[in-house]
A and B are shown apart, each in its own frame.
Chain A
Amino acid sequence: MSDRPAPPGTSSADERAPAASSPAVDLRGVTKRFGSVTALDDVTLAIERQEIFGVLGESGAGKSTLLELLGALAHPTDGTVLLDGVDPSTLSPRQLNRLRHGIGTVFQGFNLLGNRTVRQNMELPLTIQRRSDPELLASLLAFVGLEHRGDHYPAQLSGGEKQRVAIARALATRPSVLLADEPTSALDTSTTADILTLLRSARDEYGTTIVVVTHELDVAKAICDRAAVFERGRLRETLTVNSRRRDADGSYLEHARKALTE
C-alpha cells in the first residue's frame, strides 16, 4: 500500500527486517481454542500498512481474542500470525516485549494510571523502553489538543480527554500499528466523533496502521477503510467501506453489509 519506511520505535527488535511490502498484519488460517471453545476459527486476513481496518461483531464473535493475537499477547492454536512480517510465536519473552513496544493499544476503559499526570502517563511506554523525549511528548500533547493539561491527573479529565491521553500514550513510541479496543464505547456521541477524527489524523500524520475493534457500525462507517465482520469466531466477510451510504435493518451481517458497502 505504501513504501513509507516503518516508523522509529519498530526498528529496535533485532531479528526483524520486515519487507516494506508485507502487510502490517497477516493472519493465515488462524484458529484459537480455549479448551473446547473455539474463539477464532480458521481466520485468514491481511491488513495493509496505513489502513484503518475495522473488526466488527457482536460479543462472543472473537474480537477480543483477535486483538490479543494482534497485540502479541497470545499465540494461535493453529495457523500463523505475522506482525510486520514477524511471527510472534517464534520469539523469546524478551523479544516479545520488544515487539510489543512497536504496537500501541487504546482501550475502552482508557486504562490510565490515576496516580500519574497526563504527561507521565504518556511517557510510560518510553520509560519502559528507557527512552526520554520531552519534545515528542510536547508535540503529542498538542496533537491531541491537551497542551494545558500535561500536569493534570486523569481524575480531573472528562472521558473524551482521557481517551485523548490514551491515544497520545499509544502513539508515544511511534508504533507501526495502533490497536483500538472499543475506543468510543464509553463515550457519548459528540465525543465519539472527536476521538474518531483524532484517530484518523493519527494515521494521516504518523502513517500508523489502525485496527479498530468495535460493535458499533457507525464507528466503522465513520473511519474505516475496510472492515471484517465476525460471527462466532468466523470471519464472515471483509467489506470495503463506502462512507457515503447509511444503514438498514436485518441480521447483523446484512446490517453491516448494507451499512458499510451500499
Chain B
Amino acid sequence: MNEILDVFAESGDKIVEALVETGYMVLAAIVAAVLLGLPLGTLIFLTRRGGLVENRPVWIAAELYVTIVRSFPFLLFVVFMIPVTRMVFGTTFGTTAASFPLAFVAIAIYARLVEQILLELPSGILTAARSMGANIWQTVTKFLYVEARSGLVYALTSATISFVSYSTVLGVVGGGGIGDFALRYGYQEYQFTLMYTAIVLTIAAVLVLQTAGHLISRALDKR
C-alpha cells in the first residue's frame, strides 16, 4: 500500500495526464460510434435482404467495411492508417491523431452490435410501424430505437470497454494514455508497482463504466 502511495507521490501528475489521454481517445471513439456507428448499423439492418429498404450494393459496402475493419489486427490497422491520418491531421503523432484509427474501429464494432440488437427486436414492432403509415425515419426513431434503447446503451458500454483496451495500443503512434504509461514507465523501467497501479486504475475505470452502463440500461428498460 505504501509503495502505491509513493508511486502517486512521485508520478501522480503523469498518471493523471495518462488517464486524461486515455479518456480523450475513448471519448473520441464513443462519439464516432454513436454519430456514425449507430447509423451504419441501422443501415445494415434496413438494407439487408428482406429489410425495410432492401438494397444489395449499400448493404454489401457497409458489411465489407464492418467486417474488414473488425477483423484487421488493431496494431496493424493503426500502422496501415498512418498515411490517411497524415493526410487528415498533417501529423501521425499525438493523442488526436492516434484517436483517428480508433474511431474507425469504434464505428465498425458498434455498427455490428447495433445491427444485432435491431435484429432481435420482435417483428411486431415493424409490422405496427408499417401499418400506421410510418416513414423510414419515423420507423427508426419512434419505434426501433425506442424499443432497442436499453440494448443500445448496454452495447455501447461493452464497446467502450473494448475501446479502452484498444487505446492501450496507441502508444506506438504517440497516443499516450494509461496503457502506454504502464509500458514505458512501468514495464520498460522495471517499476512494476507503477505498472500494476496503472493496470488497477484501468480495471477500476472499466468497473465504473460497466456499472454505470448497466444501471442506465436497466432504468431505460420498461418492457
Q: Chain A residue with minimal CB distance to B145?
A: A115
B73: chain A residues within 8 A (beta carbon): none
Q: Is the CB of A109 within 8 A of B124?
A: yes
Contact status B132-A155, CB under 8 Å: no
Chain A, Cβ-Cβ closest to B148: A115
Contact between B222 and A107, CB atoms less than 8 A apart: no
Q: A128 touching B223 by the CB < 8 A rule? A: no
Please give me the residue from chain B that is nearest to A107 by CB atom. B124
Count residues on chain A whose CB falls below 8 Å from chain B CBs.
29
* A residues 127-184 touching B (CB-CB < 8 Å): 127-129, 153-155, 179
Give the CA-CA distance A113 to B221 in the complex, in Å: 11
**CA–CA, A114 and B144, complex, Å:** 11
**In the complex, A146 Cα to B138 Cα: how many Å?**
27
CA distance A127 to B138 in the complex (A): 9
Contact A155 B222, CB 8 Å, known A113-B143, A115-B146, A124-B142: yes
Query: Smallest CB–CB gap between B218 and chain A, Å?
Result: 12
Which residues in A have their C-beta under 8 angstroms from that of B128? 105, 107, 111-113
Q: A114-B222, A153-B222, A155-B223 are in contact. Are A100 and B131 (CB under 8 A)?
A: yes
Q: Knowing A113-B146, A113-B147, say if A98 contacts B133 (CB, 8 Å).
A: yes
Q: How far is the CB of A213 from chain B (nearest CB, A)?
A: 13
On chain A, the residues within 8 Å of B127 by CB distance are 107, 111
Specify which of A94, A96, A99, A115 is in contact with B221 (CB 8 Å cutoff).
A115
Whether A128 pairs with B222 at a CB distance below 8 angstroms is: no
CB distance from B41 to the nearest CB of A (A): 19
In the complex, A255 Cα to B221 Cα: how many Å? Answer: 46
User: Is B48's CB within 8 Å of the partner chain A?
Assistant: no
Q: How far is the CA of A179 from the CA of B130 in the complex (A)?
A: 14
Complex Cα gap A111–B221 (Å): 17
Please tell me if the beta carbons of A124 and B124 are within 8 angstroms of each other in the complex: no
Contact B143 A97 (CB under 8 A): no
Considering the chains assembled together, what is the distance between the CA atoms of A218 and B131 in angstroms?
Answer: 27
Chain A residues, CB < 8 A from B147: 113-115
Nearest CB in chain B: distance from A99 CB, A = 7
Asked if A32 lies at the interface with its beta carbon under 8 angstroms from chain B, I say: no
Closest Cβ–Cβ distance, residue A47 to chain B (whole Å) = 18
A residues in contact with B133, CB < 8 Å: 96-101, 103, 128-129
If A111-B125, A155-B222, A155-B223 touch, does A116 touch B146 (CB 8 Å cutoff)? yes
Please give, as numbers and ranges, the residues of chain B lying within 8 Å of A124 by CB-CB distance: 132, 142
Q: Does B208 contact A (CB under 8 A)?
A: no
For A153, the chain B residues whose CB sits under 8 A away are 222-223
The verdict on A17 contacting chain B, using a C-beta distance below 8 Å, is: no
In the complex, A125 has a CB within 8 A of chain B: yes
Residue interface bits B138-171, CB-to-A below 8 A is 1, else 0:
1000110011011000000000000000000000
Closest to A166 in B: B128
CA of A103 to CA of B128, assembled, Å: 12
- Separation of A128 and B150 alpha carbons in the complex (Å): 23
CA of A110 to CA of B48, assembled, Å: 26
For B143, the chain A residues whose CB sits under 8 A away are 113
Min C-beta distance of A181 to chain B, whole Å: 9
* One of A73, A110, A127, A154 near B131 (C-beta < 8 A): A73
Instruction: Please give, as numbers and ranges, the residues of chain A lying within 8 Å of B220 by CB-CB distance.
Output: 115
A111 to B142, CA, bound (A): 14
Say yes or no for B135: interface residue by CB 8 A criterion: yes
Please give, as numbers and ranges, the residues of chain A lying within 8 Å of B221 by CB-CB distance. Answer: 115
Complex interface: chain A residues within 8 A of B124 (CB): 107, 109-111
Q: Which 7 A-B pairs have the closest CB atoms?
A: A114-B223, A100-B133, A111-B124, A97-B133, A111-B128, A105-B131, A153-B222
- B residues contacting A by CB (< 8 A) are 122, 124-125, 127-128, 130-135, 138, 142-143, 146-147, 149-150, 220-223
